[in-house]
Structure 1
Amino acid sequence: MALARNSRHKRTVDYWPGFVDALSTLLMAIMFLLTVFVVGQFILSREISGRDEVLNRLNSQINELTQALALEKSGKQDLEDSVANLQASLSMAEGERSRLQSLLDAGSGSNQAAQQRVGTLTQQLDEQKQASARALSQVDLLNQQIAALRSQIAAVEAALQASEEKDQTSQVKIADLGRRLNVALAQRVQELNRYRSDFFGRLREILSDRDNIRIVGDRFVFQSEVLFPSGSADLNPDGQTEMAKLAAALIDLSKEIPPEINWVLRVDGHTDNVPLSGTGRYPDNWALSSARAIAVVKFLIAHGVPADRLVAAGFGEFQPLAPGDAPEARAANRRIELKLTEK
């Protein structure tokens, strides 16, 4: 037992002294490093301070050099301006020298130029004298021509005066012929009016028994119902009978009217204002009125009336006798008018 306890006691190790030694060594190393760091920091600070001073000195030197360079540049500009002014002055001096030299040269040759000028002027004077002589000869020729023209003008004036006298005589004759023509025309008109009156008188005698036939002014008016069916341009039997009477009266009258009276019978067709449907034979009232007038003219020609004494015209509904839309007005406007007139 005692041996066992001794053996355990011998095996126990004391580590504390070693730990203390290690810690002391570590502290000494740290202190050494701190010392080295402080010394290095001090040395580095001194180096940096020295470099700042050097840098400041360099900056001041650079500023001084910059100022010196600016002064040099301004001096150079002044020198360049001076050189330019000197060059301009030199150019002006050279120009003045050239001008003086040219004046000198001109002065030396002025005598010769004056002689040449005198010769030129003398030649021009001779030419002017020759031109004056030619002009005088032309003036003489013109005077002769003017004299000839004056004689011609006198002859023309005499002829003109004779022509004016003849013209006055002609105007008197023309005025007399105009008066005679007016008298003749008036006589023709009177004769035509007389024959028109005779014609109307005969028509009154022939057609006096019809109520739908009347005289309006210088026209003989047939109502369309007397001659044509509604909407048609074909003469009905009654219309053919009346137109046959008219043809006979015209033929008799044409034998009595002198041939120098250029008369015609104008046949005018008129309708009312009722529009056509447009689907029948005649598209509108223009066509219907014209067709009716032409039908009357063709019937008269077929019964012996000369064609050159007949004229057909259609007026549609645009020349009414009675205005308005009443049945009586429309009936009065549907008509065929006959008028004896001149061509």
Structure 2
Amino acid sequence: MALSGHRGQRFATTNVWPGFVDAMGALLMVLIFVLSIFMIVQSMLRDTITTKDHELDALSAQVAGLAQALSLEQAQTEALTGRLEAAGARITAFEAQVAGLLAEKTAQAAVIADLQGDLKTSDAALASARLQLDAARKKAEETLTLLAAAEAARKDLQGRLEVQLSEAEKQAALKAVAEKTLTETRAESDRKAEQVARLNQQVAALRGQLADLQAVLDEAKARDTEAKVQVEALGSQLNSALAQVAAEQKRRAALEEEARRKAEAEAKDLARYRSEFFGRMSQLLDGRAGVRVVGDRFVFSSEVLFQPGSADLSPEGQAQISRVAETFRELAAEIPPEIDWLLEVDGFTDDTPLSGQGEFKDNWELSQARALSVVKYLIEAQGFAPKRLAAAGFGEFRPVAAGKSPEARAQNRRIELKLTER
């Protein structure tokens, strides 16, 4: 019996060993298969990472090129602005010079008008003096005629005296008549000579005044001609400056139009990413209680995220925000860096006033604290960049449901997320 038992144990040991060897072989094959799959997956991942690195380098080069182009465009815009300001200053100076020349021309025109009036007055005085001179000459001629008549009378009287008077009487009478006539003639001649001298002096003075007026008139005409030349030169410079300003304005308008088109393209890109974001979020949050889509915003009921009167995210609220953050993080990685996007977190309460004895004095502080709590959770727990987030509290002053029913107040207690551009 002992020998039979010993042989049974040897037989049992012999039968177990092949099964063990088969199991080890199968396990080894499984390990080899798993290692092969791991090597293949690692190779594929290495190729994928290398491809992504190349794509990332290309995108970085594109971003650097766009940044350089933007800086060049900004420098050109600043240079154009400076040139436009300088051109505006030159135009202002030209306009001031033209205004001064026009004012000087107006003053010269007034002086010329005065000189022309004085010249007309002098011409009238000269004509009057000439008339007086002619009258004096006429009177002198009449005087000479009288002298001739007196001489004829003297001769006639002398003939008569030769007949009637003696020689002595004749000489005395002739002498008396001659002296009288000579005295009268001399007095009249002196008077006429004085008048003629005065008229000659007046004529000489008028001629001097005419010469002075003519010189002033010639000088005014010369200055007027010079002013016209300056005005024409300034007009040419002004036209050139205006043409340059028009060209600069046209170029600036082209740059502004190009910038506007770029901004519109970026806005369209942001709208596309916003639409994609809302599409993904709608699928993620579809059917979840306390979350709804209103326009371009996701609205979370405060009861889903916070306990009543508290601004600390509840575990359920953290889970909701984590789902949103995970989806949005995937989308944010696809948004180009030149789009300055921003995720706004807005807090709202109902119109039920707080007692003021708790942690928050009023609904303003509660709404702001809740929005800030969501933002801090996204930064600290989800790794969001602070510059891409904004928190704001509106208290009870922007309700979405009218009335004081529990349902309306529940709708007004909310947190809103909105993807926008800064």
Q: Supply the distance in 2 between the matched residues of 1:304 and 1:142 (Cα, whole angstroms).
A: 84
User: Highest Rg: 1 or 2?
Assistant: 1
Q: Which residue identity lines up with residue 392 of structure 2 in the other structure?
A: A
CA drift at 1:142: 5.8
Residue of 298, 301, 325 corresponding to 2:404: 325
Which runs of structure 2 are paired with 1:192-207 in the superposition (5 Å)?
192-207=270-285
CA pair 337-132 structure 1, distance change in 2 beyond 3 A: farther
Indicate the RMSD between aligned Cα atoms, in angstroms.
Answer: 2.8
Residue of 232, 239, 242 corresponding to 1:154: 232
TM-score w.r.t. the length of structure 2 is: 0.47
Number of aligned residues: 218
- Looking at secondary structure, tell me which structure has more helix per residue: 2
CA drift at 1:182: 3.5
Residue of 312, 332, 339 corresponding to 1:254: 332
Q: Which residue identity lines up with residue 368 of structure 2 in the other structure?
A: S
CA drift at 1:146: 4.3
- % identical aligned pairs: 47
Q: Which residue of 1 aligns with 2:417?
A: 338
CA drift at 1:260: 1.3
Residue of 208, 213, 217 corresponding to 2:291: 213
Which runs of structure 2 are paired with 1:29-68 in the superposition (5 Å)?
none
> Is 1:267–1:338's contact at 8 Å kept on the other side of the alignment?
yes
TM-score w.r.t. the length of structure 1 is: 0.57
Q: Which residue identity lines up with residue 387 of structure 2 in the other structure?
A: D
Q: Which residue identity lines up with residue 271 of structure 1 in the other structure?
A: T
Q: Which residue of 2 aligns with 1:106?
A: none
> Is 1:250–1:305's contact at 8 Å kept on the other side of the alignment?
no
Q: Which residue of 1 aligns with 2:192?
A: none
Q: Which residue of 2 aligns with 1:232?
A: 310
| 1:294 equivalenced with 2:294 (yes/no) | no
Q: Where does the alignment leave 5 or more consecutive residues of structure 2 unmatched?
A: 1-207
Q: Which residue identity lines up with residue 231 of structure 2 in the other structure?
A: I
Q: Supply the distance in 2 between the matched residues of 1:132 and 1:315 (Cα, whole angstroms).
A: 90
CA drift at 1:198: 1.3
CA drift at 1:248: 2.5
Which deviates more from structure 2 when the two are superposed, residues 141-150 or residues 312-321? 141-150
CA pair 140-334 structure 1, distance change in 2 beyond 3 A: same
CA drift at 1:294: 0.8
Q: Deviations over 1:205-253 (max 9, x none)?
A: 3333522111000001000011111011111111112222222333322
Q: Supply the distance in 2 between the matched residues of 1:336 and 1:150 (Cα, whole angstroms).
A: 75
Q: Supply the distance in 1 between the matched residues of 2:340 and 2:213 (Cα, whole angstroms).
A: 73
Q: Supply the distance in 1 between the matched residues of 2:229 and 2:420 (Cα, whole angstroms).
A: 60
Q: Supply the distance in 1 between the matched residues of 2:218 and 2:391 (Cα, whole angstroms).
A: 78
CA drift at 1:166: 2.8
